[in-house]
Amino acid sequence: MAGHRTATLGREERTPLAAAREELLARLGTEQVIVDRQRLRTYECDGLAAYRVVPGLVVLAQDARDVETTVRVCAAHRVPFVARGSGTGLSGGALPHAEGVLVVMSQMRALREIDVENERAVVEPGVVNLQLTHATTPDGYYFAPDPSSQQVCSIGGNVAENSGGAHCLKYGFTTNHVTGVDLVTPGGDVVELGGKAPDAPGYDLLGAVVGSEGTLGVVTRVTVRLTRLPQDVRTVLAGFPDVDAAGAATSAIIGAGIIPAAIEMMDALAIEAAEEAVHCGYPDGAGAVLVIELDGPSADVEQELADVLRLCDESGAFETRLAADDLERALIWKGRKSAFAAVGRISPDYIVQDGVIPRTALSRVLRQIAELGEAGGCRVANVFHAGDGNLHPLVLFDGSVEGATERAEEVAGGILDLCISNGGSITGEHGVGADKARYMPRMFSDDDLDAMQAVRCAFDPDNISNPGKIFPTPRLCGERPGRHQGAHPLQEAGLGEVF
Amino acid sequence: MAGHRTATLGREERTPLAAAREELLARLGTEQVIVDRQRLRTYECDGLAAYRVVPGLVVLAQDARDVETTVRVCAAHRVPFVARGSGTGLSGGALPHAEGVLVVMSQMRALREIDVENERAVVEPGVVNLQLTHATTPDGYYFAPDPSSQQVCSIGGNVAENSGGAHCLKYGFTTNHVTGVDLVTPGGDVVELGGKAPDAPGYDLLGAVVGSEGTLGVVTRVTVRLTRLPQDVRTVLAGFPDVDAAGAATSAIIGAGIIPAAIEMMDALAIEAAEEAVHCGYPDGAGAVLVIELDGPSADVEQELADVLRLCDESGAFETRLAADDLERALIWKGRKSAFAAVGRISPDYIVQDGVIPRTALSRVLRQIAELGEAGGCRVANVFHAGDGNLHPLVLFDGSVEGATERAEEVAGGILDLCISNGGSITGEHGVGADKARYMPRMFSDDDLDAMQAVRCAFDPDNISNPGKIFPTPRLCGERPGRHQGAHPLQEAGLGEVF
């Protein structure tokens, strides 16, 4: 890999990274280029702290030109680079490279343009998700993708991971809200993909770039669709005896042609954790709850609300509660949104899994997950976007018990196998990153992965743009592919310290 | 190009096409392989009859395996191939290659699966657009993309061109309704992109393939989203003194947060033509009409209808008419849908142009188009999807007058320049095809086109998958790109007879 080669300059033999370091310091200065080991350590992981690698160098980009400069220098020396937004990702997508440059985008936070008339905004990638919503609310608009981390996560990160959120059932993922980007390709060219208008001629490379997790280049400008604030929002909390009944209610609602803004489900263990942490007052004795949110024109919402309450009743809900005001709505959501952290109250350690199944397979898969957990000696709490079948099972364990971590990881991996065998997918919204690259061959054929690799090689023939992510096996571009191996990508990509 | 090489086999020297012909006849038989010149002539053009090329060979594919066989044979001999659906395209996207194989997909018409519960259908690409809607209407669903040609056009063709229709303002383009395809790559591999679930991990190559106009391979299976039939539909016809007033009404409606299923505009000349052809009874003396369709839950539609009627009045409509029943609605749409053909009544010849502008630039661009037409001595009738700024100017001329055709073509080309300079695009829904490849450099930078070419080369290094379409300059893959030239792609691609 790149980090193992050396370059000869004058009499001194230097690593490619050392050569890039010198050039970047000369061009961008010590304010923007971090070389101090202590400061570099700050960037050793993203939201998935299980993997840690201290980057070789950090560049604090102030504008698109800085990014272009950095990428050009990296390309010239074949030094790997990784772009990082707010570092809230959960798949290790922004895990640094020990012999590479980490390009920190979080200082590029300008809202370049708010074009209400055309319902578009043009932003720098470091803009925080909720910042854009706050800026457009006075005009009656917001930015629809709403990951749980929206108070801190960056729009550039949302683009890289094609982030979803509780409301993506109705409003779609980030890719449905991005109409254009400027991309610095791994070769250092600046390419404009899409724009304000929909359906540009030529290839829709915009769609391929959104969700490519930084492997096709670095985005320096994003044009997004603004969504009109709904006239009305109603939030229902419904308690069910078990997850089967809650699943039946979900299917009945969708089957009736209602698309709520969100349908979130929590099972008994997740409810227990949330109650302990934030006292959200969910229905006593519920085996499962649904949080159902309806939004849109008032007349419409009222009709849908009546239907939803009826369908919950018919599916066996023993209690339905309508939020009377914003405070009650906030409390309902607080239980749901705190669930991940709350699990820490009932278990010393846990793994957050992310997988997708067809909505209609919900009951079966939940049963299979429970069996899997039992066999592995782990409790599994389930919190998920029920409307679109995006599961977030939380695998609980105690890392101080010998072998417990391994068993929990096995259960978490087994859950992905269940998702695949039920016709689903290994990630709904957290991305593949460093964490799930080894699962890609379970989901895709060699030919499928070859097609992706071919595109990767077209953009990044030297494999320097966020290497070691998404793809299970780094391959030299141009060589005819062999079989993909399931080995851990971090070993194969030659990344530095992995804890 | 491929057609100019020869292969030596035994003592006989054969063209690559002759070699492919022999192999295809041996594998598929004479029922499926057309070699007779008279029969080949049937396929010499698609809906854009200005370009005609008799294909070297036609294969009538019966199933995915036939397509795979054909593509593999073509790949082995480096023979170009072009897939053709129903042949209704308006940009020459299915224009054959004289030394190549035309793969006719129209006999692959099986509806493989209608999965109402998951709101998906799996179809073969030759399935006719409206056929799918008819098959799903009894269950309360339909296929939303509705090109004017929906009674005959194929879903495979819709995928190739990312087709839109009158209702794509609210429902989006084909790309928003395709969740998976099987693709035979130009190398003959079968790749599965996407599936029934949204947001698959890895690159979203599905998005790149939809709208790639057959240049990345041949789609043999399509999984599409089914859309629930709306509870209610209301259609309004509004007459305005001029296009400015109709444009203002359009902006007011969108600005009020209403997204009608369709907002179609016709100007005075288009109205005149439609009246003469189908006697649709549009308001007397209108300088412009709007056809506005609202759909959704009844309560919602009633509220929006009241708002739309008020906003039309406030914008200067002198007459608004609500369709009382299906018959009246059909008559309103008949005027709009017949407009293209109707123009033949008032002019011996015409060119249908297709371009996009930001909705807010409507009045300005229409004025500029009128000036352009005047300068070129052509009348221009305007029929368009006003809601999303997709113009279809009809440039009228008399081909029997010397120089008139050239002047009309110049006006049509100038309209695209206007679209670009106003921040729009050279095609809204008809695609680039053979017709507009030469305009691509006016819209995209060299780096932009290089990025697309890189992907093209990744899939199709030998440039055999529908060559001569989309890209202005065929380039050997691997060579470092030079400047793109604006020459006509048909000359450069070495295509055979061009009339």
Partners of B201 on chain A (C-beta within 8 Å) are 425-427, 431-432, 436, 440, 443, 470
By CB atoms closer than 10 A (0-12, 13-18, 19+), residue B397 is buried
Q: Which residues are CB-contacts of B435 (< 8 A; sequence separation ≥ 6)?
A: B48, B50, B51, B91, B92
Show the tokens assigned to A463. Answer: 């494999």
Partners of B200 on chain A (C-beta within 8 Å) are 425
Give yes or no for residue B5 having a pLDDT over 70. no
Q: Kindly report, residue by residue over B84-136, the tens digit of the pLDDT.
A: 999 999 899 999 999 999 999 999 999 999 999 888 999 999 999 999 999 99
Q: Kindly report, residue by residue over B184-197, the tens digit of the pLDDT.
A: 999 999 999 987 76
- Position A245 scores a pLDDT of 94
Q: How confident is the model at residue A255 (pLDDT cuts 50, 70, 90)?
A: confident
Q: Is B211 on the interface with A (CB under 8 A)?
A: yes
More confident residue, A474 or B421: B421
Show the tokens assigned to B16. Answer: 């690559």
Torsions phi, psi for B338 (to 5 deg): -90, -5
Partners of B118 on chain A (C-beta within 8 Å) are 358-360
Give yes or no for residue B12 having a pLDDT over 60. no
- Position A340 scores a pLDDT of 81
Q: Kindly report, residue by residue over B207-246, the tens digit of the pLDDT.
A: 999 999 999 999 999 999 999 999 999 999 999 999 999 9
Q: Which residues are CB-contacts of B290 (< 8 A; sequence separation ≥ 6)?
A: B236, B237, B238, B240, B246, B249, B250, B263, B264, B265, B312, B317, B386
Cβ(A160)–Cβ(A85) below 8 Å: yes
Across the interface, whether the CB atoms of A201 and B454 are under 8 A apart is answered: no
Q: How confident is the model at residue B479 (pLDDT cuts 50, 70, 90)?
A: low
Q: Is B384 on the interface with A (CB under 8 A)?
A: no
Residues 140-169 of B with CB under 8 A from A: 140, 162, 164
- Position B292 scores a pLDDT of 97
Across the interface, whether the CB atoms of A198 and B173 are under 8 A apart is answered: yes
Closest A-chain CA to B183: A448
Across the interface, whether the CB atoms of B459 and A451 are under 8 A apart is answered: yes
Closest B-chain CA to A442: B201
Q: Report ipTM (2 d.p.).
A: 0.80
CA distance A467 to A389: 30
Q: Side-chain half-sphere of B380: how many Cα atoms within 13 Å?
A: 30
How close, in Å, is residue B385 to chain A by CA atoms? Answer: 13
Torsions phi, psi for A124 (to 5 deg): -80, 155
Nearest beta carbon to residue A424 from set B192, B197, B429: B197
Q: Is A29 on the interface with B (CB under 8 A)?
A: no
- The mean of the pLDDT values for chain A is 89
Mean pLDDT for the stretch of residues A472-490: 51
CA distance B121 to B108: 15
Q: Is A319 on the interface with B (CB under 8 A)?
A: no
Q: Kindly report, residue by residue over A325-340, the tens digit of the pLDDT.
A: 989 999 999 888 888 8
Residues 95-124 of B with CB under 8 A from A: 117-118
Give yes or no for residue A318 having a pLDDT over 50. yes
CA distance A183 to A43: 23
Q: How confident is the model at residue A79 (pLDDT cuts 50, 70, 90)?
A: very high
CA distance A346 to A343: 5
Torsions phi, psi for A58 (to 5 deg): -120, 135
- Position B480 scores a pLDDT of 43
Distances from the Cα of B5 to the Cα of A10, A132, B76, B167, angstroms: 50, 57, 13, 47
Cβ(B494)–Cβ(B97) below 8 Å: no
Sheet containing strand A111-115, strands side by side: A111-115, A120-123, A218-225, A178-184, A190-194
Element (H, E) at A133: helix A129-136
Residues linked to residue B352 through DSSP beta bridges, in sequence order: B394
SS3 A221: strand
Mean pLDDT for the stretch of residues B354-365: 87
Across the interface, whether the CB atoms of A206 and B207 are under 8 A apart is answered: yes
DSSP H helical ranges for A315-445:
326-337, 339-346, 362-376, 404-421, 440-443
- Position A490 scores a pLDDT of 35
Closest A-chain CA to B192: A448
Cβ(A235)–Cβ(A331) below 8 Å: no
Across the interface, whether the CB atoms of B197 and A358 are under 8 A apart is answered: yes
CA distance A97 to A468: 9
Give yes or no for residue A1 having a pLDDT over 50. no
Across the interface, whether the CB atoms of B204 and A211 are under 8 A apart is answered: yes
- Position A345 scores a pLDDT of 86
Q: Is A210 on the interface with B (CB under 8 A)?
A: yes
Q: Kindly report, residue by residue over A402-448, the tens digit of the pLDDT.
A: 999 999 999 999 999 999 999 889 998 889 999 999 999 988 999 89
CA angle B340, B341, B342 (to 5 degrees): 90
Q: Kindly report, residue by residue over B141-153, the tens digit of the pLDDT.
A: 999 999 988 999 9
Q: How confident is the model at residue B491 (pLDDT cuts 50, 70, 90)?
A: very low
Residue in A199, A227, A479 to test binding to B, most B beta-carbons within 10 Å: A199
Partners of B458 on chain A (C-beta within 8 Å) are 454-455, 457-458
Show the tokens assigned to B76. Answer: 């082995």
Q: What size, in residues, is chain B?
A: 499
- The mean of the pLDDT values for chain B is 89
Domain architecture of chain A: domains with CATH: 2-104 (3.30.43.10), 111-228 (3.30.465.10), 230-339 (3.30.70.2190), 347-431 (3.30.70.2740), 437-492 (no CATH)
Partners of A356 on chain B (C-beta within 8 Å) are 197, 199
- Pairing of β A101-104 and β A81-84: parallel
Give yes or no for residue A475 having a pLDDT over 80. no
Mean pLDDT for the stretch of residues A198-208: 83
- Position A479 scores a pLDDT of 54
